[in-house]
Structure 1
Amino acid sequence: MTINVRPARTAAEEAIAAALEASIATEAGQGRIAELRRAARDAFLSHGLPSRRVEEWKYTDLRAAIRDVPNRAPAPGTVEDLEAAPFVPAVPNAGRILFVNGVLSRAGSDFAALSEGVTALPLDTAIAAGDPLADRINALSPSRYDGPLALNTGFLGEGVALRVDAGVKAARPVHIAHAFPGSEAVSGFTRTVVVVGEGAEVTLVETFAGRDGVAYQSNHAVELVVGDGAVVNLVRIQEEGDAAFHFGTLMLELGREAKLNLFALAQGAALARYNVYGRFEGTSAHAGIRGATLARGRQHSDTTLVIDHAVAGGESRELFKTVLADDAHGVFQGKIVVRRAAQKTDGRMMSQSLLLSDRAEMDNKPELEIFADDVQCGHGATAGALDRSMLFYLRSRGLPEKEAEMLLIQAFLGEAVEYVENADLRDLLIERISGWLEKRAA
């Protein structure tokens, strides 16, 4: 006889379960969306928050970390929109869609500024109108249970749906900004659905920022379909407040000869987790997935990705750089899966970490699962301190120690940043990294 023992729910899990029940009772919607929300609720009731007993979460134990769950915020008003401004980076020449405390700000968004051929709808509008974009919701969800994603789906409602018409070369980036400017802790659950048509090209920028000292929780998911021959450049800047919890999920599908260039910068939040689930559905597609993490104090930052090569001829490149100071904890978990039919796959993954303190900790877990026999795949991980000989060289040329350290750290991160092709966005990333380094040096 087999006995399955489930641990009692924590206070936070009880609060989340009650909030899910109340939300579904009052705003579940109808048809497929209601079914999705109820299924997500049932999954959460069965599995709860992931703990270190779950392999994918062994380094980021949410069951132990999350002690309470703030209420969701009401719709933003004029005051909140104005307060959000300092937390929204200026993205040159971009059309902006703004979320304040996890709620779409129609006053702070500029849907009319989007390029011709790019359509954006509030997610609730797309659902109510039966727009085909709403049919894509949860279509790319991983088969394995993901706690934060289940909550995002259970509280589904706020978000935006984007369509880029076939053949369109969008002249302006789309900036999706998330700001938590309030002094009261709230929870935000937002969803972005993007469908890029055949042969189209678009640049997407996501930013996340909020007030320090406020224990808000930000949970955002993106479902991105890149059509045959389409190109998507995605830049993500996570600078949440120093007491916040941040959960981000990217679900990605690449068509034939499609191309994705992703860069994710993480340097905010007390605890942050970014999950990437990418699947190659068309032959000869390419994904360049790169990022940089900077953490100090007692910050915990986790990047976890699974790249699934399901068809032949795909190419993926993953490069992540991590800089840890003080008692910070970094996590990188990356898996490349090559299916039996995915011959001629070329996949390379590398995680490199720079530890600026003897107390900093980095956990690396790169993996390969290969079921084909004609492939080129590799992975690696390194962790170490600053090169003392290089530091001595710079100091011998008259540079103060802090400036010498900053130069070496910038050079370390620059290898990943240089893959961002848009010069304005590359400069924005360098500016944000430099700001972090200057604060640390102060």
Structure 2
Amino acid sequence: MNAIAPAGASAAAFLARHAARAGASAARDAAAEWLGRAGLPRSGVEAWKYTSLRALGDVAFAAAPAQADPARVEAILAEAGRVFGLEPGLPRAVLVNGRFDPALSRLPAGVRAVRFNEATDLPSADDVASALNALLAEDGLVLHVASGHDAGRMALLSVVIAGDTPLSVHPRHRIVLEPGARLSLLDLAVGQGNYLNNPVIDIAVADGASLVHAKLQAEDVSARHLAVVHADIGAGAHYDSFTLTLGAGLARHEVHARLGAEGGVVHVNGAQLLDGRQHADLTSVITHGAPACNSRQTVKNVLSEHARGVFQGKILVERIAQKTDGYQMNQALLLSETAEIDAKPELEIYADDVRCSHGATVGALDGDQLFYLRSRGVAEHEARAILVKAFLHDAVALMGDDMLRAVLDRAVESWWNRKDA
């Protein structure tokens, strides 16, 4: 049986938009050839076993307009700042409908930013979301931190506004930290309406550098979100990431991290908080390609009503990667009998001197703990909130930057208050 569906309305519309563009690069043409031949994955594709793109494949997404109502954009940014407790003076790069808006942006000292250039910033793609992004990327940023410089904190803010016509945006970013450089990045996606947000970030963390990357996806439930991070980690370098998924009706966040030199460290932690009929998928592949590297991954899911969460995590240890230390854990808390979690932790090890472990647990709120709190006079909704926040606490606490951790805590609080209202 053919594992790939025909292109469908969505893929056909994407290809038509590509065909209308003059002078496309070789990378775009390769992506078009791949998408035209393969279409969007449905059943039978192992990497998409638990996440169907059937609903996506039947929508002919149009290109987003270059301009959006400035007052509406400002209102969305102000609301995000209030809800998530963003510092008013936090340096930021703002994208509106997938395009960089310099008027709304203020970059930190020591961070050099240049606009996306398809001739240099489109490497070949071997996954669906990256190929789609390569096909249609129009804007984005290359952020560059010089050797030995501590750039502090900044935000990468994406705002998408759609009306009656379904839109798609495909921002492409690259973050480069030279040896010894440091940066803490809040990657926040918000928006309103029916759209597809398909961001791709290519990350290079050179020897001895450190990137703290907190992603908060809090988009409209009518939106779809397909994102990919490709990260290459140098010798003694650190990539500390946390992805918190709250929004979009359909979301998938992929992380492909490679430890290519001795002593590198990767953390790919996250949480998915879903209700209604939301579907969110966190898929990761962490490749140990050098000796004495360390990876950690803890992913928590809180699912209610008919929500479905997916975790697919793979640790690949190549033969050269002796002295590898890898850990992976996925835990799910189901708040209703109709919520669902699919977990597939995986180890693929070719070295013989390693320490690797993985696991997965699924459960409901502890009835004894709930009874104990109720017996002490705590109202039921408050008791449930205490237990849910306690379940999430040790995952969010793994974020290494205090300010970013506070933003994630505020986001968890706002989600629960909205759900429990």
Alignment of 1:301-316 (within 5 A): 301-316=280-295
Shift of 1:425: 1.7
Q: Kindly indicate whether the alpha-carbon contact (under 8 Å) linking 1:167 and 1:200 is maintained by their aligned counterparts in 2.
A: yes
| Corresponding residue to 1:281 among 260, 263, 266 | 260
Which residue in the other structure is 1:104 paired with?
A: 100
8 Å Cα contact 2:191-2:219 kept in structure 1: yes
Q: Is the 8 A contact 1:88 1:178 kept in 2?
A: no
Shift of 1:27: 5.9
**Identity rate, percent:** 37
Residue by residue, what CA displacement relative to the aligned partner does 1:257-315 show, whole Å, maximum 9, x if unpaired?
Answer: 00111111001000000000000111011111111110000000000000000111110
Say yes or no: does 1:253 pair with 2:248: no
Verify the 8 A CA contact 1:257 1:284 in the aligned structure 2. Answer: yes
- Which of the residues 304, 308, 326 maps onto 1:325? 304
Change (3 A) 1:107 1:312: same
Deviation at 1:16, TM superposition (A): 2.1
> What is the CA–CA distance in structure 2 between the aligned matches of 1:181 and 1:187, rounded to whole Å?
10
Residue equivalent to 2:158: 178
CA-CA distance at 1:388 after TM superposition = 0.6
Are residues 7 and 322 of structure 1, via their aligned partners in 2, closer, same or farther at CA, if it must alter by over 3 Å?
Answer: closer
Secondary structure of the 2:393 match is: helix
- The 5 A counterparts of 1:385-404 are 385-404=364-383
Q: Which moved more, 1:338-347 or 1:89-98?
A: 89-98
What's the counterpart of residue 358 of structure 1? Answer: 337
Q: What is the RMSD computed on CA atoms of the aligned residues?
A: 1.8
Q: Which residue pairs with 1:19 in the alignment?
A: 17
List runs of 5+ in structure 1 lacking aligned partners: 29-33, 128-133
CA distance in 1, matches of 2:315, 2:292: 14
Q: TM-score with structure 2 length normalisation?
A: 0.94
Q: 1:381 and 2:374 equivalent?
A: no
Letter paired with 1:94: L
Post-superposition shift, 1:76? 2.2
Structure 2 match to 1:46: 37
- Structure 1 segment 400-439 matched on structure 2, within 5 A: 400-439=379-418
Q: Using the TM superposition, give the Cα deviation of residue 367 of structure 1 relative to its aligned residue in structure 2, in angstroms.
A: 0.4
How many correspondences in the alignment? 415
Q: Are the aligned partners of 1:83 and 1:181 in contact in 2 as well (CA < 8 Å)?
A: no
Contiguous gaps of at least 5 residues in structure 2: none
Q: Which residue number in structure 1 is paired with residue 214 of structure 2? A: 235
Give the Å deviation of 1:168. Answer: 0.3
State the distance in 2 between where 1:50 and 1:399 align. 48
Distance 1:88 1:287, change over 3 A: same
Residues 400, 66 of structure 1: alpha-carbon distance in 2 compared, 3 angstrom cutoff: farther
**How big is the shift at 1:156?**
2.2
Residue aligning to 1:160 = 141
Match of 1:131 in 2: none
Q: Does 1:202 pair with 2:183?
A: yes
Residue 255 of structure 1, CA deviation: 0.2
Shift of 1:17: 2.0
DSSP 3-state at the match of 2:134: helix
Length-normalised TM-score, structure 1:
0.90
- The one-letter code matched in structure 2 to 1:43 is W
Instruction: Give how far 1:421 is off.
Output: 2.6
Q: Distance in 2 between matches of 1:152 and 1:7?
A: 19
Alignment of 1:205-216 (within 5 A): 205-211=186-192, 214-216=193-195
Identify which range, 247-256 or 39-48, moves more after superposition: 39-48
From 85, 104, 107, give the equivalent of 2:77.
Answer: 85
- For residue 49 of structure 2, the aligned residue among 58, 65, 70 is 58
TM-aligned CA distance change 1:313 to 1:81, over 3 Å = same
User: What SS is found at the alignment partner of 2:62?
Assistant: coil
Write out the 4+ residue segments of structure 1 that deviate beyond 4 Å after TM superposition. 3-7
CA contact 2:241–2:268 (8 Å) conserved in 1: yes
CA distance in 2: counterparts of 1:170 and 1:82, whole angstroms: 26
